[in-house]
Structure 1
Amino acid sequence: MQQFLLFLMAIVAGAMLAVQAGLNSGMGKAVGSAVYGAFISFLTGGIALLAYCLASGVALGNVRRAFEIPWYYWMGGVLGGFYVFAIIVLAPRLGVAVTIGLTVAGQMIFSLVIDHYGLLGIPTNPINWLRILGIAAIIGGVVLLRTH
């Protein structure tokens, strides 16, 4: 049952990304800048997360540990900012389905590399032909979305 709930959460998160692409594109268009649109998205997300932390009583004691880890872990926010910026630029030009399909293909390709080498402390899971076939199916799906 727990595995099912985790899968469901992943599907809902993916669905939210598609909705977010449309919302963020609208924000970027409204403010006349993809960068400011992405900034507003992160600002409102940050405020929502802070409100959640305060309302739920999440302990702040371990937050200082963030200053003890290597610098590259801080790049997650920069990478997220680039992702939102890219979605704002790409969704109106390519459509939400193709944009999300391509970003998922990129995520899967780099996820295989991270898994294969155990980068960033992730347990290793070697690349094999079936995993490559899965990525090829995603790319094939994007081609079908783009051409039909």
Structure 2
Amino acid sequence: MNSLALFFLMFCGGFAVALQPSINGRLAQKVGIIESSCISFAVGTVALFFVVLASGRGSFKGIADAAWWELTGGFLGAYFVTMTILAVPRIGTTAVLVATITAQLVTGLLLDHFGLFGFREIPLDLKRALGVGLLIAGASLVFRR
């Protein structure tokens, strides 16, 4: 898959991430916060199960070779979804997303700089630091009350 296609798919993923907290927040009004998070993950799990069946790629057998920390992604996702469900009604979708995006980029800079999790190192330079710094400044403007 080429870079432009990946960029487009991630752009669409951005729409999904922006919509998900509000959708889950509405569901939480009917069923509760933790229950909404559970339902969100259950629906996602069922959807992914059918994608796995349809694609016929990979194998679940490799899970036996995974380190314990490689299995924590689901926990981190559940934490994130639950926190967005909790926060959106209180501080708004924009504030939740700006906090999320800022934290993602700061973390991404660190992961890239140190080449963590076995990925290639991309050193922190002035341009990247300035870009994230401007984002932090913008986030503070969005979050101001």
Q: TM-score, normalised by structure 1?
A: 0.90
Secondary structure of residue in 2 paired with 1:11: helix
Give the counterpart letter for 2:82 in structure 1.
F
- The alpha-carbon deviation at position 89 of structure 1 amounts to 0.7
Matches within 5 A, 1:1-148: 2-32=2-32, 34-54=33-53, 56-59=54-57, 62-147=59-144
Greater Cα shift, 71-80 or 19-28:
19-28
Q: Distance in 1 between matches of 2:65 and 2:105?
A: 30
- The alpha-carbon deviation at position 47 of structure 1 amounts to 0.4
Paired residue total: 145
Give the counterpart letter for 1:9 in structure 2.
L
Q: Distance in 2 between matches of 1:59 and 1:126?
A: 34
Q: TM-score, normalised by structure 2?
A: 0.92
Q: CA RMSD in A?
A: 1.6
The runs of at least 4 consecutive aligned structure 1 residues that moved more than 6 Å come to: none
Q: Distance in 1 between matches of 2:113 and 2:8?
A: 25
Give the counterpart letter for 2:97 in structure 1.
I
Secondary structure of residue in 2 paired with 1:127: coil
Q: Deviations over 1:75-108 (max 9, x none)?
A: 0000000000011011111111110111011111
Q: Distance in 2 between matches of 1:49 and 1:76?
A: 15
Give the counterpart letter for 1:115 in structure 2.
D
Q: Deviations over 1:22-59 (max 9, x none)?
A: 11111122112x221111100000001112222x2423
| Structure 1: stretches of 5+ with no match in the other structure | none
